[in-house]
Amino acid sequence: MSVERWERRVEVPLLLLALAFLVAYAWPVLDPRLDPTLDVFLGYVSWTVWAAFALDFAVRLALAQDRRHYALQHWYDVALIALPVLRPLRLLRLLAFLRILNRSAAGNLAGRVTTYVIGAAVMAVGLGAVAVLDVEQDAKGANITTIGDALWWASTTVTTVGYGDRYPVTTTGRVIAVALMIVGIALVGAVTASIAAWFVASLDKDQRTKASEVAAASDELH
């Protein structure tokens, strides 16, 4: 079996596991007064998802022809498996969403870019907000203490506006902020490149149409 065939088989199960992990991760963050029994259960869910993703990567690595190159190419998989103690890093498991986006995206450049930009923007704001709230809400001197504050901060950061009324005070929160800034710059670049490509394609199409009309008129004269 090839790596691609295995990925197609486990694509939907991994997506469902990613959704389960999102619930298990975000619920305790959004509800600090969660029942201890439920909190423990959600912890088990999170570790079960980690084990499933570790197994998936082990299988893909075994099926790969060049295992070292495959591991380097999928460094984020290695990171989320090797460093499970870093809670915000666990959100990398949600990259399973990108596989679904890639398969459902339209065939042309504009369709792919639109799908990726919308999906990446929603994921970046939502997941960034949950991650920063997780590390900031109990920190000394924190000003991001509610999900509303976190969503506002994530939105202004991703769009590179950055009003400065909300900002992380912890080291981990600042790392998350840097990641969101990079995502925001990448999204702006993707949109700009897509618009430029659309203009070039439209201009080329117009030129070809005019050339065809001139050729047709020339043939009629002769």
Instruction: Print pLDDT tens along the chain (222 aa).
Output: 788 888 878 877 877 887 888 888 888 888 878 888 888 898 888 888 888 888 888 888 888 888 888 888 877 777 777 765 555 555 555 555 555 555 544 455 555 566 667 777 787 888 888 888 888 888 888 899 888 999 999 998 888 787 888 889 988 888 888 888 888 888 777 777 777 777 777 777 777 777 776 666 666 665
> Are 72 and 119 members of one domain?
no
> Are 85 and 146 members of one domain?
no
- The confidence score (pLDDT) of residue 106 equals 47
- The confidence score (pLDDT) of residue 47 equals 83
Region of 31 please: left (phi>0), alpha (psi -120 to 50) or beta. beta
> Are 81 and 109 members of one domain?
no
> Are 82 and 145 members of one domain?
no
- The confidence score (pLDDT) of residue 158 equals 86
Interatomic CA distance for residues 97 and 115, integer angstroms: 12
Structure tokens at 83: 């460093």
Tally Cβ neighbours within 10 Å of residue 118. Answer: 12
> Are 63 and 109 members of one domain?
no
Domains: count for the chain? 2
Listed residues 41, 61, 96: the one ending a domain = 96
212 located within any domain = no
> Are 4 and 79 members of one domain?
yes
> Are 75 and 6 members of one domain?
yes
Contact 151, 145 (CB under 8 A): no
> Are 37 and 76 members of one domain?
yes
Listed residues 67, 96, 125: the one ending a domain = 96
Domain carrying residue 125: 105-204
Contact 35, 43 (CB under 8 A): no
CATH code of 122's domain: 1.10.287.70
Task: List, in sequence order, every beta strand (DSSP E) within the chain.
Answer: none
> Are 139 and 169 members of one domain?
yes
Interatomic CA distance for residues 40 and 46, integer angstroms: 10
> Are 73 and 112 members of one domain?
no
> Are 80 and 144 members of one domain?
no
18 located within any domain = yes
216 located within any domain = no
- The confidence score (pLDDT) of residue 99 equals 52
Interatomic CA distance for residues 173 and 195, integer angstroms: 33
176 located within any domain = yes
pTM of the full structure: 0.64
> Are 3 and 64 members of one domain?
yes
